[in-house]
Amino acid sequence: MSEVADGMVLRGWAVDPASGREGAARVAIRDGILEQVVWLTGDDASGITPDGMLILPGLVDFHAHFREPGNEDAETVATGLAAAAHGGFTTVCLMPNTTPAIDEPGVVGRVLAAAAASGSPLRVLVHGAVTAGRKGETLSAMGELADAGVVGFSDDGAPVHVATLLRSALAYAGALDLPIIDHPEDPSLTGGAEASEGYVASVLGLKGWPIAGEAGAVARAIEILADVVRDVPAARLHLTHVSTSASLAHVRAAKAVGLPVTCDVTPHHLGFTDAWIAGSRRWAWDQLDADGRASDPWTDGSLTAHPFDTSLRVNPPLRGAEDAAACLAALADGTADAIATDHAPHTEVDKHVEFGWAINGISGIETALGIVLEAVASGGVSLARAVDALTTGPARVLGRRHGVAPGLHVGELADLVVVDGAARWTVTAEALASKGKNTPLLGRELRGVVRLTIAGGRVAYSAD
């Protein structure tokens, strides 16, 4: 069992989206309780800057895969939680594409028991499957899953492709006051696809995953939601790992007319692009030319790594730099409510194979904050907005009743992360607590060293 955080006084640049405050602060923790937050001014604040030591509410990951039960070679709840704590997260929502799928209450209990047995102080929440066995044929035991405490429903990894079923699910979940978390994809357009359709896929001879394969599914889901909310006002749709400008335009328009739709973007779709499959390792925002067009990796000198690195095979696929920029802009303007890691650890057996045969997914929960801090440093999004999308943003999608209320709340159990934004660390297999080493960042220096993660008043991770 982790130890209670006690007798700690932290100084740094605090960002608290719950109160809307940001600035130099001194934070005191006693006996697990956040005893005091003092906002510093004048000489007291000297030397404290937004690009140095940061004090943030504990991060919330709306979308992670911990592979238990069924694929414990790739990750367990215990190793996933250790990775999450190392990444600065204090709350994780686990996706139900386990084996068996989380489609009935018994499996929820198994996951929560594994979390309790791990001794981790992190809060573990579970999404239930939309359909039985995630087969897309009949509804899961949604009401019983809700009684067992699930916080949303998703067939993530696959879309709910049958429109009538998506419609029923939105209505039924709405009545339970839970969101449907849709993985937007039209499989008839994406079958066998290996990379985002476009220049890079064409040159590399990879089967293209067209923009319409996502944007069409987003538009359809929004239209079905519009149809459902007339009868079930509590129906909610959350679109996860949205990756294209076209999809975000649909979401923006739906929000503008007041539909209850939210969405998230992933760190890898913000920071990486399809050019990485060709061997580029430039951040997405560094690949744009003066006109906002993606530069040509074959002529701009950016190809420094081997092509066809399977750690880059992910669904939805990495897009071009223009789409990555659209995701960052959507994060900045609030169209994207949350940043979700889509942490997808895999074994070497499943990844050290031919690109087109490699399983989809990036192990990302330990590098998410670093990529986001790189995006902040690029100027594409403010620190306050980025922190909101990692904390209060996903909490708003979850709703109040699950008790997730990120913030520097005095008098409550401390739940925060201290990260040195000026320091860098080298991402290596050994440095990752996750069993999944499938990240293209291996060997690379990343901004932002997590010094301390406190969850529920207990020390979940400490670098010291």
Partner 1 sequence: MTSEVDRPEAASSGNPSPVPAEVPAVDAPPETQAVAWRHLHLLDVDGLTRPELELVMGTTDAMREVLSRPIPKVPALRGTNVTILFYEASTRTRVSFEVAAKNLSCDVVNIAAASSSVSKGESLVDTVRTVEALGADMLVMRHNVSGAPYLAAEVFGGAVLNGGDGWHAHPSQALLDLYTLRSRLPGGSLEGRKIVILGDALHSRVARSNIWTLTAMGADVWICGPSTLLRGFEAWAAHGAAGRRFTVTSDVDAALRDADVVMALRIQKERMASGLLPSLREYAARYGLTQERLRAASPDVVVMHPGPMNEGVEIAADVAVDPRSAITAQVTNGVAVRMALLYLLAGARRAGGNP
Active site residues: 342
Nearer Cβ to partner 1 (203/232): 203
Interface with partner 1 (CB under 8 A), residue from 64, 83, 206, 413: 206
Nearer Cβ to partner 1 (38/203): 203
Nearer Cβ to partner 1 (28/303): 303
Binding mask of the shown chain, residues 354 to 373, with x at each position contacting partner 1 by CB under 8 A:
xxxx----------------
For residue 350, which amino acid is it? D
Interface with partner 1 (CB under 8 A), residue from 92, 129, 148, 201: 201
Interface with partner 1 (CB under 8 A), residue from 19, 41, 138, 202: 202
The count of other CB atoms within 10 Å of the CB of residue 43 is 7
Residue 429 beta carbon to partner 1: minimum distance, rounded to whole angstroms: 15
Q: Which two tokens stand for residue 181?
A: 């978390």
Nearer Cβ to partner 1 (39/199): 199
Q: Does residue 299 touch partner 1 according to CB under 8 A?
A: yes
Q: Which of 117, 8, 82 is nearest to 432 (CA)?
A: 82
> In which element (H, E) is residue 165 found?
helix 163-175
Nearer Cβ to partner 1 (135/352): 352
Q: Does residue 216 touch partner 1 according to CB under 8 A?
A: no
Query: Which one-letter DSSP state was computed for residue 311?
Result: G
CB 308 within 8 A of CB 299: no
Q: Does residue 400 touch partner 1 according to CB under 8 A?
A: no
Q: Which two tokens stand for residue 268?
A: 């890898």
Interface with partner 1 (CB under 8 A), residue from 57, 208, 361, 393: 208
Interface segment toward partner 1; rule CB under 8 A; list 167-175, 204-212, 380-388, 422-430: 204-212
Phi-psi region of 344 (alpha: psi -120 to 50; beta: other; left: phi over 0): beta
CB 176 within 8 A of CB 142: yes
Distance CA 124, CA 117 (A): 12
Subset of residues 274 to 293 that bind partner 1, contact rule: CB under 8 A = 279
Distance CA 365, CA 61 (A): 8
Distance CA 439, CA 446 (A): 12
Is cis: bond before 187, omega within 30 of 0? no
Q: Does residue 138 touch partner 1 according to CB under 8 A?
A: no
Nearer Cβ to partner 1 (9/349): 349
Q: Does residue 199 touch partner 1 according to CB under 8 A?
A: yes
CA distance between the termini of the chain: 18
Q: Which two tokens stand for residue 23?
A: 């600035």
The count of other CB atoms within 10 Å of the CB of residue 448 is 24
Interface with partner 1 (CB under 8 A), residue from 204, 212, 253, 449: 204
Q: Which two tokens stand for residue 198?
A: 């476009």
Residue 67 beta carbon to partner 1: minimum distance, rounded to whole angstroms: 21
The count of other CB atoms within 10 Å of the CB of residue 341 is 31
Nearer Cβ to partner 1 (122/284): 284
Interface with partner 1 (CB under 8 A), residue from 138, 352, 422, 431: 352
Q: Does residue 258 touch partner 1 according to CB under 8 A?
A: no
Contact residues: partner 1, CB under 8 A: 194, 197-199, 201-208, 279, 294, 296, 298-299, 301, 303-308, 349, 352-357
